[in-house]
């Protein structure tokens, strides 16, 4: 079964808590703090595997959870790191964050890895907090939570050349003749319902990957027929080979077929019409094919047209040479739909996000948000008085107290951090 789109939930491992411990050994007076650090949580990693061709395995693994880090140990010993989860995916897999719509990873090379969900960092043991003023701290850090994400995994085939055209124009036959691929071939529309790949060897030694893609119909860019199930697989192709039935075997007009398919490509995203395109005038052995070819050339004089009979491989060598030549001069197209960055610009200025934000909820209530504040909050054990004191001191150093005063907070107001509330004290 060919599966090319899957939604999943990921939960990376939480970091282990640090430990409060002291060195107590005979003949070692005043041994001092010796609580070890917690282990780091496991990551969820996607790895491109050339032996995979579908996302079928992920269809039955809708949720992945990595291992948590171990708690720190005495004698400054580090807790065990959580086990990573490595997911094998086919070449050409894209991973998108459902919350933001952003692209997390594009895996196109064998063995390429990407951390999709990062495990939490382990908390520090109490020996890290020893100082001249506090030589025996009785507090440590909690481990960070691992990232939790909802993602969409998409497979977009890694093919150099894509075959487009209406159903039953001879795309599958062409692929079977020029490569060792064996797609299903039959005398009815939509015989091909999943993409097929084949390695094509040009007589001069060059080679490329060709994709036989499900047939298009009018309205495919809006989801009709196989719709986007076809179109997203042509996004990586650098050259488009448009197969047209010049024999009009199904009673359609070849000129109208060509116009409709190009209209669908134009309405789809990612600049498909910017790719070089050649036309294969197929089924030239049928009655009326020569007349249709003449009309086609008159209507589209700028389009390179190659008369062929794919069933007996007539005229295909010239096509393969032309495709190989185009591939040598055609660059890859970006998958994000954005243009490349300006040449020579190495860095782009991005304003620094604030450490925290203060929101007035009304009725003497405030909400405190921000990555640094939330990180401090998650790594504090509020059942330990010394850790609560350290948390308050850290917020003061960040400037939270002053920001609340400037916003108008008064003594006794409630301050919310996530689902917890604290009293603001002057």
**What strand order describes the sheet that includes 85-89?**
85-89, 44-48, 113-117
State how far the Cα of 340 lies from the Cα of 335, in Å rounded to an integer: 11
In which band, very low, low, confident or very high, does the pLDDT at 370 lie, cut at 50, 70 and 90? confident
Does residue 244 contact residue 258 with C-beta atoms inside 8 Å?
A: yes
- pLDDT tops 70 at residue 378: yes
Does residue 40 contact residue 14 with C-beta atoms inside 8 Å?
A: no
What are the two backbone dihedrals, phi and then psi, of residue 371, each rounded to the nearest 5 degrees?
Answer: -60, -40
Name 7's bridge partners: 152
In which band, very low, low, confident or very high, does the pLDDT at 264 lie, cut at 50, 70 and 90? confident
Please give the pLDDT value at position 121.
Answer: 93
Binding-site sequence positions for GTP:
165-172, 190-194, 212-215, 282-285, 309-311
Residue 385's CB: how many other CB atoms inside 10 A? 10
Domains, the chain: 1-155 (2.70.210.12), 161-329 (3.40.50.300), 357-423 (3.30.300.350)
Q: Which two tokens stand for residue 277?
A: 């395109």
**Residue partners of 122: CB distance under 8 A and separation at least 6:** 15, 16, 17, 18, 37, 38, 39, 40, 41, 69, 72, 78, 79, 81, 143, 144
| Mean residue pLDDT across the chain | 83
Top-confidence residue, 335 or 249: 249
Does residue 209 contact residue 159 with C-beta atoms inside 8 Å?
A: yes
Top-confidence residue, 272 or 379: 379
In which band, very low, low, confident or very high, does the pLDDT at 337 lie, cut at 50, 70 and 90? very low
State how far the Cα of 34 lies from the Cα of 275, in Å rounded to an integer: 64
Tokens 């089924």 belong to: 283
Please give the pLDDT value at position 46.
Answer: 94
Binding-site sequence positions for Mg(2+):
172, 192
**Residue partners of 35: CB distance under 8 A and separation at least 6:** 18, 19, 20, 21, 22, 72, 74, 76, 125, 126, 127, 140
| DSSP-H helix ranges across 140-253 | 171-178, 227-231
H or E segment at 417? strand 414-417
What is the 8-class DSSP label of residue 384? S
State how far the Cα of 312 lies from the Cα of 255, in Å rounded to an integer: 24
Concatenated DSSP letters of 20-39:
--B--BTTBTT--B-PPPPP
> What mean pLDDT do residues 95-119 have?
91
Q: What is the pLDDT of residues 300-311, one digit of tens each?
A: 888 889 999 988
Binding-site sequence positions:
165-172, 190-194, 212-215, 282-285, 309-311
State how far the Cα of 230 lies from the Cα of 220, in Å rounded to an integer: 8
Q: What is the pLDDT of residues 52-81, one digit of tens each?
A: 877 888 888 889 999 999 999 999 999 999
State how far the Cα of 248 lies from the Cα of 171, in Å rounded to an integer: 15
């Amino acid at each position: 079964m060919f599966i090319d789109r899957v939604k999943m939930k990921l939960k990376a491992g939480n970091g282990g808590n640090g430990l409060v411990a002291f060195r107590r050994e005979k003949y070692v007076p005043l041994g001092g703090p010796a609580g070890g650090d917690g282990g780091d949580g496991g990551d969820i990693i996607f790895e491109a595997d050339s032996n995979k061709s579908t996302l079928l395995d992920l269809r039955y693994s809708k949720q992945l959870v990595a291992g948590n880090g171990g708690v720190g140990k005495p004698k400054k010993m580090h807790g065990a790191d959580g086990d990573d989860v490595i997911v094998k995916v086919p070449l050409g897999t894209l991973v998108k964050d459902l919350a933001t719509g952003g692209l997390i990873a594009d895996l196109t090379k064998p063995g390429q890895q990407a951390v999709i969900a990062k495990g939490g960092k382990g908390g520090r043991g109490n020996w890290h907090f020893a100082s001249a003023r506090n030589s025996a701290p009785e507090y440590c850090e909690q481990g960070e939570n691992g990232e939790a994400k909802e993602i969409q995994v998409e497979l977009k085939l890694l093919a150099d050349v894509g075959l487009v055209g209406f159903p039953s124009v001879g795309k599958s036959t062409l692929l079977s003749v020029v490569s060792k691929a064996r797609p299903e071939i039959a005398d009815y529309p939509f015989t091909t319902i999943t993409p097929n790949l084949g390695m094509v060897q040009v007589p001069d030694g060059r080679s490329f990957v060709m994709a036989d893609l499900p047939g298009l119909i009018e309205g495919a860019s809006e989801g009709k027929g196989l719709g986007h199930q076809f179109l997203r697989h042509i996004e990586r192709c650098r050259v488009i080979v448009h197969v047209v039935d010049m024999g009009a075997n199904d009673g359609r007009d070849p000129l109208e077929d060509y116009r409709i398919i190009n209209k669908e490509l134009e309405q789809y995203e990612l600049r498909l019409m910017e790719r070089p395109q050649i036309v294969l005038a197929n089924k030239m052995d049928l009655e009326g094919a020569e007349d249709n070819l003449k009309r086609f050339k008159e209507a589209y004089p700028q389009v390179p047209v190659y008369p062929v009979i794919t069933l007996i491989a007539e005229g295909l060598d010239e096509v393969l040479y032309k495709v190989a030549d185009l591939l040598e001069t055609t660059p890859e197209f970006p998958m994000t739909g954005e243009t490349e960055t300006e040449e020579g610009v190495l860095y782009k200025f991005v304003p620094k996000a604030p450490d925290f934000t203060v929101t007035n909820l009304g009725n003497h209530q405030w909400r405190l948000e921000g990555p640094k504040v939330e990180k401090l909050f998650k790594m504090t054990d509020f059942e330990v008085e010394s850790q609560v004191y350290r948390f308050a001191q850290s917020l003061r150093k960040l400037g939270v107290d002053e920001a609340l005063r400037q916003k108008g907070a008064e003594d006794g107001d409630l301050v919310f951090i996530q689902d917890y509330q604290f009293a603001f004290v002057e």
